[in-house]
Amino acid sequence: MGMFDYYQPSEKIFCPDCKIELGDWQGKDSICALLLWKQGQCFPESTLHDEEIEMPEEVRRTWRLPEKFTFYSYDCEKHCVWVEGKTENEVWVANRVVFVEDLEKKYAEAKRRYSRFR
């Protein structure tokens, strides 16, 4: 499993198909150091792991999100929802759902594809 960062949008985002509120967001378009990015801020607030390896604030203040970035949630049992975030003047200001991945189809295809290796 690779590294990633956590994302916390300011507004609630729901699965467009199932209408389930999604709350746990991850993405790989930034530093990928288990940082917590909060919408409305220009640098990550903290790291979400052991306090012994917490990044100093003076280091975190130098990092920024790209102008456009994606993050995703697997909170819905049936779908992975991908969201595009947008920054203006280095501050995360907007989000829009860009892709809904059907996990049932994905897992069924993987099972079909890899069952021949048993």
Model confidence over 6-24: pLDDT tens digits?
999 999 999 999 999 999 9
Specify the pLDDT at position 43: 94
Question: In a 10 Å sphere around its CB, with 0-12 CB exposed, 13-18 middle and 19+ buried, how is residue 97 labelled?
Answer: middle
Model confidence over 70-108: pLDDT tens digits?
999 999 999 999 999 999 999 999 999 999 999 988 878
Find out whether 42 and 64 touch, Cβ atoms under 8 Å.
Answer: yes
The reported pTM is 0.85
Amino acid at 98: V
Model confidence over 78-88: pLDDT tens digits?
999 999 999 99
H or E segment to which residue 106 belongs: helix 103-114
H or E segment to which residue 58 belongs: helix 57-60
Pairing of strands 91-102, 5-8: unpaired
